[in-house]
Amino acid sequence: MKKDKILDELLLSWENTYKKGQLTLWIFMALQEGKKYVDEIKSFIEEKSDGTITCEEQSLYRSLRKFEHIDVLAFEYQEGNKGPDRKYYYMTELGQELFDRFVNRNIKLFYSTEIINILKRKDK
Amino acid sequence: MKTVTSYLLWFALTIAVLTLIFRYFLSFGIESDSFAIVTTSATIYGFLMFVSGWYFGHKDEEYLPIYDIGFRFHLTTYAVHSAITLLWIGLGFCSKHEDTNISINILIYWGILLFIHFIFFLWSRKNSIKDLDKNDLFE
């Protein structure tokens, strides 16, 4: 029981550190799929991460504004179902290149057989 | 220009109103030879200027964390205060007992401090990408 409690606390602490910076990757992944407005990006992140990444609307808007400011994202207005037009975000050419390079350098290494085998070691 | 945010403009408007009120009471206090009016209006003015800078600065930072070590707000404060002061003097609204050289000297010394702030601002820019802190960009 005590071990479980310590494990939970350690996991939470590790996850808190790990998740810092993850929002950017998830936003880019959401937009890699296609243009989205804020609610769609939020739903994508929460669904695809199995709820491990949650984002408040405020932080999402703040990140989108920053990325728009540095020209890696842009938006266009499209008609919503009801009410005013929605801002649909998409990656700019610079953003797409940034994302591709980031994935190549930091994510694709997890595809290697060696790493996959290490991660699966427990199952052997 | 993206660095001229709506919060910066609201700040400029607020301090313009505060400065106008302050200038009025300053001249009125000098005209009435009232030390109390002069010191009270200056204290309240300083306090409200700080509060509005703090409030709009925080709002601005929440909206877009522009990494300028406070230079935009300082420059705005200086520009608004100087413009109103010079207009007040130029249009002859100040008290006849008022030594306008004091106001001019304040603007000169403050301008030197602003210039020093500008140097630090330029120096800090090497830590930014397109006006945003490169260490917090992808937090």
Grouping H, G, I as helix, E, B as strand and the rest as coil, residue B68 is coil
Between the alpha carbon of residue B118 and those of residues A73, B9, B70, B121, the distances in Å are 30, 20, 10, 5
Element (DSSP H or E) covering residue A88: strand A86-91
Quickly state the pLDDT bin for B117 (edges 50, 70, 90).
Answer: very high
Q: Do B64 and A71 touch (CB under 8 A)?
A: no
Instruction: Tell me which DSSP letter residue B39 carries.
Output: H
Please state the ipTM of this predicted complex: 0.74
B54-102 pLDDT tens trace: 999 999 998 999 999 999 999 999 999 999 999 999 999 988 888 999 9
Say yes or no: B5 contacts chain A, CB-CB below 8 A. no
Q: Which residues of B touch A24 (CB under 8 A)?
A: 138
Rounded to 5, what percent of chain A is helix, strand, coil? 70, 10, 20
Facing residue for B2 by CB, picked from A21, A58, A69: A69
* CA dist., res. B13 & res. A71, Å (int): 30
Q: Which tens digit of pLDDT belongs to each residue from B10-59?
A: 999 999 999 999 999 999 999 999 999 999 999 999 999 999 999 999 99
Residue A12 forms beta bridges with which residues? none
Could you tell me which chain B residue has the CA closest to the CA of A67?
B137
Distances (CA, A) of B123 to A56, B3, B116, B120: 34, 18, 11, 5
Residue owning tokens 């808007």: A61
Whole-number Å distance between alpha carbons of A45 and A67: 17
Nearest-by-CA chain B residue for A22: B139
d(CA A124, nearest CA chain B) in Å = 37
Interface test with A, best of B66, B131, B138, B139 (most A CBs within 10 A): B138
Tokens 């290697």 found at = A112
